[in-house]
Amino acid sequence: MPSKKEEYLGVGLDVGTSRIVVARRNENGYEFHSQLDAFVEVPNSRMTKTVLEKEGIPHLIRDNTILVFGNEAQTFANLFHSETRRPMRQGMLNPDEPDGLNLIKHIIQALASTSRTDREKLCFSVPAPPLGGGDTHSYHQAALRQIVTDLGYEAEPVDEGLAVIYSELEGSNFTGIGISCGGGMCNVCLAYLSVPIFSYSVGKAGDYVDEQAARASGEMATRVRTIKEEQFKFAAQYENNVLQAIGVYYEDMVNALVDSLEEAFTRTKKVPRIAKPIPLVLSGGSSVPEGFVDQFKKSLESRKLPVAISEIRQAADPLNATARGALVATLSSM
Amino acid sequence: MQAERKPAFSPFLRYVELRASRIEDPVERLKYLRRMMALPALGWNLSPRLLLGWTAPAAAVVILLALPWRPTFRPPQAPAALASRARAERPAGDPPRPVKGPVWQVDRQSGAELYSNGLRIERRYETRYLARKFLAFPRAPGREPEPRKEPVGIVFHTTESAVAPFESKHNESLRRFGEGLLSFARQEQLYHFVVDRFGRVHRIVQETDVANHAGHSAWADDDYLYVKLNQSFLGVAFEGKSAGNGDEAIINEAQVHAARLLSWMLREKYHLRAENCVTHAQVSLAPVARRIGYHTDWAANFPFGEVGLPDNYRLPVAALEFFGFEYDPEYMALAAPELALSMKQTDARLARAAREKGLTLAQHRAALQKDFVRLSEAMRQFAFAKEAD
């Protein structure tokens, strides 16, 4: 009989542009731990250093500056009146942040720690290529694999959209469409009996909404993001120009996502004949605002897909669905 | 967009679906589905005639037989089904067109090298990495390992990178993908040579140096065993995907021609044995799981004959034969028929050897696996030891 320790082995890791989430099993099912995938640079002083160490706040010291990363980055950004920065951009490693990879490594280490056995299995989420082809994500994937391998894990990538399917669609035998709407990109996957038929990514996602709305309203993107997360609802009528702009660009994002789905079916010549209508599940931080699912349904009404959709719903736990799916992928390979 | 796959509509799939529905635990259900869908005969590309000819009980037998298998998880980029479809497009057993005669360098400029057999090597992405040094382990008992610096063979790869349809209207994408790949290969010192989709041969890492192409790997010729082939073999990669690209073959005629000229030159220059020119799938292994086929590029379809080599799929897989490794059913499903046959023959030889030694097969394999660990450790120490001044 396996020991308790062995019974709960296996890790799922969602490396998103906004958040990094780790999923594990426990006696009650699944447990999740997350950190913001962000950092802020603050001046290096003895006092700051002491506070960070005393409070156990993750940080790195770089000559004259300290990089505070993870959940506390936003707090320190507010304290020091600066913007948080992202180790990732549009779902990929941010080439403009030379410390990005190192920071991601520290965040993952803080969340997942090192492997509990010799080469514990771990699946990590990776974005799919853009619809219609484009840059491969080999470097991103290789770099993440290296990080987790260095922590002692036996690592395998899992497509982000497929992870959503693994998390949410066991009821349809992992047949259906999984969409992860993140900060940097949306990832879409159609799977049939667990096998991906197509998967791709779309560049318009949460950050796009923030940036465009910020440009339109003259507000800072960070501020727009906060307003979006705290106040925005689809179908509400707003007088506030920031919320209006968020509404416009959020709808644009949803329309682009639905357009892409139609295009993906058109491009894919070999879609299997699926007899029954299939479910579609939406997850990720950008799918959280009230009315998002209805907006998606409304947008989809005007399109014709070659497969019937039985239901469109939000993931049970949209912020953790990808990590959960990655964990299910891990467990199914053990 | 990732690879597109078309499952066949079949009563078997309905059976698989029904059976999966009865598995309550989602992880177990996924495990079952992934196992079943990896079986080409059940999941993909089964002909309607065969489907109709089989009965449900027969299907059930096949399914039940499949149950104890524990497949290694592979990301969706390496679809078994498409690789097996692609197999039919370019049979592995092409009649060999042997290459003969000396090859010498005719010209060498900063941008390219020209050889007497027509080979042109582009040098724009050329780079250096670690100097090559390795141990060749004699198969004859009692002989000491031999330190070497010259390569002894070639491992053929596919890059598994994004590929655009090979049509003139996609020129821009074809060029862009190729350049992105070459830059990445240079940055990561991935191969010694990359043959792009226009048949151009690009040197990436100089042959005097190691490249990161083979990972955990092993091979053997008639006289020596080799482990960690990054150190001892040259890596030649073809821009392309194991699964092909839509209806296209894995590599095109220009790439095959270039491969023929390149392997001819390399074999002449470094006196490489033909039996040491093999594919990544034949040498790749997962050392912890003691399985072969961690990477499966060119598990089938490599045009040995057209490249001027004998059909090396017929050779025994060294890790099975000499190091007691095993293989997953998925690997067998992917393998060229000649390779699959060779694996079965190795199984039989190992079973016979175990019987002769009075051991179980598992005990015999375990003993061979210890050899692998010993050789790997010796190789690691040698390769990474500092030169004594």
- Kindly report, residue by residue over B249-271, the tens digit of the pLDDT: 789 999 999 999 999 999 999 99
B6/A159 touch (CB, cutoff 8 Å), yes or no? no
Q: Model confidence over B340-378: pLDDT tens digits?
A: 878 888 888 999 999 999 999 999 999 999 999 999 999
* Same domain (yes/no): A188, A77: no
Of A142, A200, A329, the CB nearest to B73: A329
Q: Considering only CA atoms, which of B219, B244, B251 is closest in space to residue B232?
A: B219
Looking at the DSSP bridge assignments, the partners of residue B135 are: B147
- Long-range CB pairs of A70-73 (<8 Å, 24+ gap) are A70/A35, A70/A36, A70/A38, A70/A39, A70/A107, A70/A110, A71/A35, A71/A36, A73/A36, A73/A38, A73/A39, A73/A40
Strands A11-15 vs A120-126: parallel, antiparallel or unpaired: parallel
In a domain, A94, yes or no: no
In a domain, A29, yes or no: no
pLDDT at B6: 47
In a domain, A116, yes or no: no
Q: Residue B95 pLDDT > 70, yes or no?
A: no
Residue B121: how many other CB atoms lie within 10 Å = 21
In a domain, A224, yes or no: yes
| Residue B39 and residue B115 in contact, taking contact as beta carbons nearer than 8 Å | no
CA distance B378 to B18: 52
| Residue B79 and residue B300 in contact, taking contact as beta carbons nearer than 8 Å | no
Neighboring chain B residues of A115 at a CB cutoff of 8 Å: none
Q: What residue ranges of chain B are covered by domains with CATH 3.40.80.10? A: 106-384
Q: Which amino acid, B229?
A: L
Neighboring chain A residues of B188 at a CB cutoff of 8 Å: 139, 142
CA distance B117 to B262: 9
Residue with tokens 């050789």: B375
Q: Considering only CA atoms, which of A149, A86, A83, A89 is closest in space to residue A122?
A: A149
Domain boundary among A50, A67, A85: A85
* Same domain (yes/no): A290, A188: yes
In a domain, A117, yes or no: no
Q: What percent of chain B has pLDDT over 90?
A: 56
A118/B7 touch (CB, cutoff 8 Å), yes or no? no
* Same domain (yes/no): A60, A183: no
Per-window interface: A 287-306 vs B, CB < 8 A: none
pLDDT at A138: 74
Q: Which two tokens stand for residue A45?
A: 């002083």
Helix then strand then coil, in percent of chain A rounded to 5, is 40, 25, 35
Q: Is B180 on the interface with A (CB under 8 A)?
A: yes
Per-window interface: A 173-202 vs B, CB < 8 A: 173-174, 192-200
Q: What per-residue string of b and e applies to A204-240 under the rule 16 or more CB within 10 Å gives b? A: bbbbbbbebbbebbebebbebbebbeeebebeeeeee
Query: What are the distances in angstroms from CA B295 to CA B77, B240, B286, B292?
Result: 11, 15, 9, 8
Q: Model confidence over B70-79: pLDDT tens digits?
A: 333 333 332 3
pLDDT at B68: 32
| Residue A80 and residue A42 in contact, taking contact as beta carbons nearer than 8 Å | yes
| Residue B105 and residue B95 in contact, taking contact as beta carbons nearer than 8 Å | no
User: Nearest C-alpha of chain B: how many angstroms from A219?
Assistant: 35
| Residue A161 and residue A188 in contact, taking contact as beta carbons nearer than 8 Å | yes
DSSP state of A24: E
- Long-range CB pairs of A303-307 (<8 Å, 24+ gap) are A303/A258, A303/A259, A303/A261, A303/A262, A304/A262, A305/A261, A305/A262, A305/A265, A306/A265, A306/A271, A307/A265, A307/A271, A307/A274, A307/A277, A307/A278
* Same domain (yes/no): A64, A179: no
B5/A173 touch (CB, cutoff 8 Å), yes or no? no
Looking at the DSSP bridge assignments, the partners of residue B292 are: B285
Pairwise pLDDT comparison (A251 vs B194), residue with the higher score: B194
A194/B34 touch (CB, cutoff 8 Å), yes or no? yes
Looking at the DSSP bridge assignments, the partners of residue A124 are: A13, A157
In a domain, A183, yes or no: yes
In a domain, A285, yes or no: yes
* Nearest residue in chain A measured CA to CA from B184: A139
CA distance B120 to B83: 30
* Nearest residue in chain B measured CA to CA from A169: B26
> Can you give the pLDDT of all 334 residues of chain A as single tens digits?
445 555 688 999 999 998 999 999 988 889 999 999 999 988 888 888 898 888 888 898 888 889 999 988 888 887 877 778 889 888 888 878 878 888 899 899 888 887 777 788 999 999 998 887 666 577 788 888 988 998 899 999 999 999 999 999 999 999 999 999 999 899 999 999 999 999 999 989 999 999 888 888 888 887 888 899 999 999 888 888 888 888 888 988 999 999 999 889 888 877 777 778 999 999 999 999 999 999 999 999 888 888 999 999 999 999 999 999 999 999 998 8
CA distance B218 to B324: 12
Three-class DSSP labels, B237-282: EECCCCCCECCECCCCHHHHHHHHHHHHHHHHHHCCCHHHEEEHHH
* Same domain (yes/no): A78, A175: no
Would the pTM count as exceeding 0.80? no
Report the SS3 class of residue B113.
strand
What ipTM was reported for this prediction? 0.84
CA distance B127 to B192: 9
Domain that holds residue A70: 38-85
pLDDT band at B386 (very low <50, low <70, confident <90, very high): low
Q: How many domains does chain A have?
A: 2
pLDDT at A33: 92
pLDDT at A289: 94
B1/A194 touch (CB, cutoff 8 Å), yes or no? no
Neighboring chain A residues of B162 at a CB cutoff of 8 Å: 129, 133-136
Q: Which two tokens stand for residue B72?
A: 């290694």
Q: How far apart are the first and last CA of chain B?
A: 53
Element (H, E) at A314: strand A309-314
Per-window interface: B 119-178 vs A, CB < 8 A: 161-162, 164, 173, 177
A136/B9 touch (CB, cutoff 8 Å), yes or no? no
pLDDT at A75: 84
pLDDT band at B11 (very low <50, low <70, confident <90, very high): low
* Same domain (yes/no): A59, A175: no
B30/A329 touch (CB, cutoff 8 Å), yes or no? yes
Domain boundary among A85, A100, A119: A85
pLDDT at B22: 81
In a domain, A231, yes or no: yes
Residue A96: how many other CB atoms lie within 10 Å = 9
CA distance B99 to B308: 5
Q: Provide the CB-side half-sphere exposure for A309 (13 A, CA).
A: 17
Q: Which two tokens stand for residue A70?
A: 């993870």
CATH number of B106-384: 3.40.80.10
Q: What percent of chain B has pLDDT over 70?
A: 79
DSSP line for A52-81: HHHHT--EEEETTEEEEEGGGHHHHHHHTT
Residue A48: how many other CB atoms lie within 10 Å = 20
Q: Model confidence over B133-177: pLDDT tens digits?
A: 999 999 998 899 999 999 999 999 999 887 888 888 888 888 888
Of B20, B74, B162, the CB nearest to A136: B162
Strands B285-286 vs B291-292: parallel, antiparallel or unpaired: antiparallel
pLDDT at A55: 87
Q: Residue B275 pLDDT > 90, yes or no?
A: yes
DSSP E strand stretches across chain B: 105-108, 112-115, 120-122, 134-138, 146-148, 153-158, 193-195, 201-203, 218-220, 224-227, 233-238, 277-279, 285-286, 291-292
| Residue B305 and residue B95 in contact, taking contact as beta carbons nearer than 8 Å | yes
* Cβ-proximal residues to B64 (8 Å cutoff; 6+ apart), any chain: none
